[in-house]
Amino acid sequence: GQNIDQPTEMTATEGAIVQINCTYQTSGFNGLFWYQQHAGEAPTFLSYNVLDGLEEKGRFSSFLSRSKGYSYLLLKELQMKDSASYLCAVRDSNYQLIWGAGTKLIIKP
């Protein structure tokens, strides 16, 4: 079967760095996405990785290792507004997104 695993909840301190991990087992791989979802709001796109390595976009970076079926989202200089759920999703061989259950990130002052 297809499976995306990510931690249910993480806590970090304002100004710090946090890494949210995602491991996947899917039928085929055509890219990995990270989305942010604030409570009661729609998910919004953060990053896309299709090749191994690190993609940096401001305070957010995303890493992919296809051989390990592994990705992480790195958030630097955490701000209170970063409190949200972070969703990992893999595009499979049918070009459909398989989603993880999301990681709820709590930022403390």
Partner 1 sequence: ETGVTQTPRHLVMGMTNKKSLKCEQHLGHNAMYWYKQSAKKPLELMFVYSLEERVENNSVPSRFSPECPNSSHLFLHLHTLQPEDSALYLCASSQDLGMGYNEQFFGPGTRLTVL
Q: Check residue 69 for interaction with partner 1 (CB under 8 A).
A: no
Q: Check residue 100 for interaction with partner 1 (CB under 8 A).
A: yes
Cβ proximity to partner 1, 23 vs 30, nearer residue = 30
Q: How far apart are CA 58 and CA 74, in angstroms?
A: 11
DSSP class per residue in 11-27: EEETTS-EEEEEEEE-S
Q: How far is CA 72 from CA 24, 94, 109, in A?
A: 11, 23, 24
CB of 78 to partner 1, least distance (A): 23
Q: Binding to partner 1 (CB under 8 A): which residues in 20-49?
A: 30-31, 33, 41-45, 48
Say if residues 5 and 98 touch (Cβ distance below 8 Å). no
Cβ proximity to partner 1, 13 vs 44, nearer residue = 44
Site of interaction with partner 1 (CB under 8 A):
4, 8, 30-31, 33, 41-45, 48, 87, 89, 94-102
